[in-house]
């Protein structure tokens, strides 16, 4: 019975890790990364379509992203969607491809990005702790209902804490790695 609770909790904690990775990939680091464009959607014949379904996206060098639409008629729509997004990059359009030049980050901007990373990481740590709280509540309810003994309850709560520590450590590693990536010159 407690195994089901623990498995459910671990799935939710893994989801927090995936959300952390996705959030970090969208943070610009001064290095070209196709993850910057993951959240961009383009109005394609009245349907909001993810950019990666409308174009081939490549990184030919560390400071350049090249977007080659499958349908050349969508290039203006893609251009408009990128300009309207929050990535703060202006595409250059040569009629067949769009190029996004990634500028060098200033020291001030790097510090701001590190703060964003830390805030995002703390939000995900809170999410993991909320899962821990929910699991412990569920285990206590099972104990009160007489479904499990007090010893089983304590053991399960210890396992929940181990899972929590494990996934918070993963978030800490991801955060440290992203900070190093941002602060690299």
What pLDDT sits at residue 161?
95
**61-84 per-residue burial string, b: 16 or more CB within 10 A, e: under 16:** eeeebbbebeeeebbebbbebbee
Contact 75, 42 (CB under 8 A): no
Residue of higher predicted confidence among 73 and 88:
73
State the average pLDDT for the chain. 89
| For range 112-139, the mean pLDDT | 94
**What is the rounded average pLDDT of the residues 77-89?**
85
What is the value of pTM for the model shown?
0.72
Measured over all CA atoms, what is the biggest interatomic distance in the chain, rounded to whole angstroms? 70
Radius of gyration of the chain (CA): 22
Residues 22-54: pLDDT tens digits? 888 877 777 777 888 888 889 888 889 898 899
Place of tokens 């400071």: 63
Query: Among the ranges 56-65, 100-109, 133-142, which has the highest mean pLDDT value?
Result: 133-142
pLDDT digits (tens, 9 = 90+) for 112-124: 889 989 999 999 9
Name which of 90, 97, 80, 96 is nearest 44 in CA terms: 80
CATH of domain 2-26+106-183: 1.10.132.20
CATH 3.30.1360.40 positions along the chain are: 34-101
- Ordered DSSP codes for 91-130: -EE-SS-EEEE-PPPPHHHHHHHHHHHHHHHHHHHHHHHH
Q: Quickly state the pLDDT bin for 104 (edges 50, 70, 90).
A: confident
Q: Which segments of the chain belong to CATH 1.10.132.20?
A: 2-26+106-183
Torsion of CA 145, 148, 150, 156, to 10 degrees: -120
Within its chain, how far is the Cα of 173 from the centroid? 14
Give the integer Cα–Cα distance in Å for 182 and 169. 20
CATH pick for 34-101 out of 1.20.1730.10, 3.30.1360.40, 1.10.357.10, 3.40.50.720: 3.30.1360.40
What average pLDDT score do residues 170-176 get? Answer: 96
Name the helix (H) or strand (E) containing 48.
strand 47-50
What's the pLDDT at 174?
95
The answer, yes or no, to whether residue 138 has pLDDT greater than 90, is yes
Give the whole-angstrom CA distance, residue 88 versus residue 66.
Answer: 16
Where residue 137 falls among pLDDT bands split at 50, 70, 90?
very high
Percentage of the residues of the chain whose pLDDT score is greater than 70: 99
Mean pLDDT of 87-109: 86
């Amino acid at each position: 019975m407690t195994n089901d609770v623990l498995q459910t909790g671990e799935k939710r904690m893994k989801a927090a890790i995936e959300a952390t990775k996705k959030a970090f990939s969208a943070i610009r680091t001064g290095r070209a990364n196709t993850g910057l464009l993951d959240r961009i959607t383009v109005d394609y014949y009245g349907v909001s379509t993810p950019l990666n379904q409308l174009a081939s996206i490549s990184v030919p060098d560390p400071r350049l992203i090249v977007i080659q639409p499958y349908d050349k008629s969508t290039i203006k729509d893609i251009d408009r969607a990128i300009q309207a997004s929050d990535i703060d990059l202006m595409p250059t359009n040569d009629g067949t491809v769009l190029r996004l030049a990634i500028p060098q980050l200033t020291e001030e901007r790097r510090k701001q990005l590190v703060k964003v990373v830390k805030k995002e990481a703390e939000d995900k740590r809170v999410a993991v702790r909320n899962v821990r709280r929910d699991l412990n509540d569920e285990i206590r309810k099972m104990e009160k209902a007489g479904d499990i003994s007090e010893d089983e309850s304590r053991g399960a709560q210890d396992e929940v804490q181990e899972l929590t520590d494990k996934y918070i450590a993963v978030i800490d590693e991801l955060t440290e790695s992203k900070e190093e990536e941002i602060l690299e010159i």
